[in-house]
Structure formats: structure tokens, C-alpha cells
Amino acid sequence: MSPSRRSSRQLVAGTFAGFLMLAATACGTSSGGTSDSPNGSSTALTGDVTVSAASSLTDVFTQLGDQFMAANPGVKVTFNFASSSDLAEQIVQGAPVDVFASASDSTMQTVVDAGDATKPTTFASNSLEIATPPKNPAGVQALSDLADPTVAVAVCTPDAPCGAATQTLFQDNNLTVTPVTFEPDVRSVLTKVISDEVDAGVVYVTDVQAAGTDVHGVSIPAGKNVSTNYLITATNGTSNATAADAFVAFVLSPTGQQALHQAGFAKP
């Protein structure tokens, strides 16, 4: 090969290699959802973001929201925490919501079927645990103790994800439990326990962890327990799609996942 043809080929190869380096650099700085930054975009985010999230996400999402706003001073995140079933109904009825985080597949599917969300992502899972007042006055030691008619038990309403999971828990373990109260969401059940109004409440593992010394936790063996998935999506009706997508990406990022793990949530 002549020196001139060798030089020409070297020049082409060098140019192609340079193009690959530029492409890789561009991909590395894109605004994809895998970014670990609260702001996955190179463009400053602005505006309001309303997040409707399952009540069991109250503590960890409040933390993540603060971090997201600190990194994006132009954005204000407002949370609406309640039962996933109630939140889904609000969205279907036209409530202005930018991001929805549900505690079950079925409640998210309600929003998808209504055309208000398209591609939700599963980001965590949770399982059930029994909470009692700190001194455990009824002496609850196991799941079967909840079937004792002298034990006052609080559970979620059947249409809430925590209530549906609790019903499955009782059915799978052949238990007949007569609750003294049905609460609209899991945090309301936890409040009944903390205020010593009931002997026990069926909540999520994460709720017992969040309550700390305010409650006593009674674990349910994995073989007898029930779990639920958590899904998140920006709604199709969002008025701030860029910021909504960025918040979803932050929850899915390693930072968001670490916060969820520290709060007691498991991987999906």
C-alpha cells in the first residue's frame, strides 16, 4: 500500500473514531430517566408538579420531593397522599395531577384504562406487618391472634390496596377476622394503633418502620405474607410534562431507589 493511501485510510479512521466519541458524549448527557440527578435534563426545570401518591409513600416521597426541589429551585412539588383507589378515582374524574404513584397494579390499571396514563413503571414493593401499641396490651404474637374476637383489629377498607391485600392475607391463611374499624388508607390504620384505639392494625412493613417506637411490630412469615407492587407514571393530562417526567426519573434513579430501600421498601 502506498504512503498516500495509508494516510488517507488513517484520516478516515481517525474521523470516524472522533464521531463515535462525540456520539458517546452526547448520549451521556442526554435527559434520559436513568440519571441519578434530581434534574435529569440539562435544561432548568420550572413550574408546579402535583404528585398524587399512596399514603404509605408519605415519608419517603416527602424526602425525595425536598431533594428534587433543592436541585430544581424553579419547581414546586405538591403532594396529595391518600388511598391509591381514591387517588385513581380523582384522576379519572379530571383532577389536575401530574404524577401518580400507586400501591397496587389494579389501581394504576384504572387510570391506564381511562386513558389518563400510558406506561407506568414498577418501582418498589411492600409487604404486610401487624402493628400494635408499644406495650402490646392484647399480647398479639402471631397473625392467628387477630382471629381472637377479644382483639380489636383495624384494617383498611377493601377497595384500598392495603385492604385488598389484608383480605387476601386472611383468606390465604384461613383466618376469620372481624375488624372493629375499616379505615380509608393505611396511615389511618396506623393512627388508630398509635392513639391506642385498637389492639392491632394490619399495615405495611414500611409503616411500622416509619412509626418507630410509637408502635410494636409483629412480623408475618414470608410464606404467609402478601406483597404489593408500587407503580409510578406521569399522567397524560399533565400540564408540566418535562418536570413530571424528571420527578419520575428521580424516583427511579439510584438515589431514589436507595431512599426507598432505607424506608423499608423492597425491590419490585
**Residue 161's domain is classified under what CATH number?**
3.40.190.10
Give yes or no for residue 21 having a pLDDT over 50.
no
Give yes or no for residue 27 having a pLDDT over 50.
no
Position 193 in a domain: yes
pLDDT one-digit tens code per residue, 191-227 = 999 999 999 999 999 999 999 999 999 999 999 999 9
Position 8 in a domain: no
Residues 53 and 110 both lie in one domain: yes
Position 29 in a domain: no
214 is written with which cell numbers? 410509637
Residues 108 and 133 both lie in one domain: no
Position 16 in a domain: no
Q: Between these two residues, 153 and 35, which has the higher pLDDT value?
A: 153
pLDDT one-digit tens code per residue, 152-185 = 999 999 999 999 999 999 999 999 999 999 999 9
Position 119 in a domain: yes
- Burial (CB count <10 Å: 0-12, 13-18, 19+), residue 39: buried
Domain count, the chain: 2
> Which residue type occupies 190?
L
Residues 79 and 137 both lie in one domain: no
Of the chain, the percentage scoring pLDDT greater than 70 comes to: 84
- Mean pLDDT across 232-247: 98
Residues 6 or more apart whose CB falls under 8 angstroms from that of 7 comprise none
Residues 59 and 188 both lie in one domain: no
pTM for the full model? Answer: 0.84
Position 13 in a domain: no
The predicted structure's pLDDT at residue 9? 38
The predicted structure's pLDDT at residue 31? 32
Residues 136 and 116 both lie in one domain: no
Residues 148 and 217 both lie in one domain: yes
Range of the domain at 85: 47-125+228-262
Give yes or no for residue 37 having a pLDDT over 90.
no
Give yes or no for residue 259 having a pLDDT over 70.
yes
Does an H or E element contain 53, and which? strand 47-54
Residues 154 and 198 both lie in one domain: yes
Residues 177 and 246 both lie in one domain: no
pLDDT one-digit tens code per residue, 74-122 = 999 999 999 999 999 999 999 999 999 999 999 999 999 999 999 999 9
Position 254 in a domain: yes
Residue whose cell numbers read 414498577? 122
Alpha helices in the chain (DSSP H): 3-28, 58-71, 84-92, 105-113, 161-172, 186-194, 205-211, 241-252, 254-262
CA 115 to chain centre: 21
* 225: nearest Cα among 160, 139, 166: 166
- Mean pLDDT across 129-135: 98
Of the pLDDT bands very low, low, confident and very high (cuts 50, 70, 90), residue 40 is low
Sign of CA dihedral 87, 88, 91, 92: negative
Average pLDDT over all residues of the chain:
89
Residues 202 and 133 both lie in one domain: yes
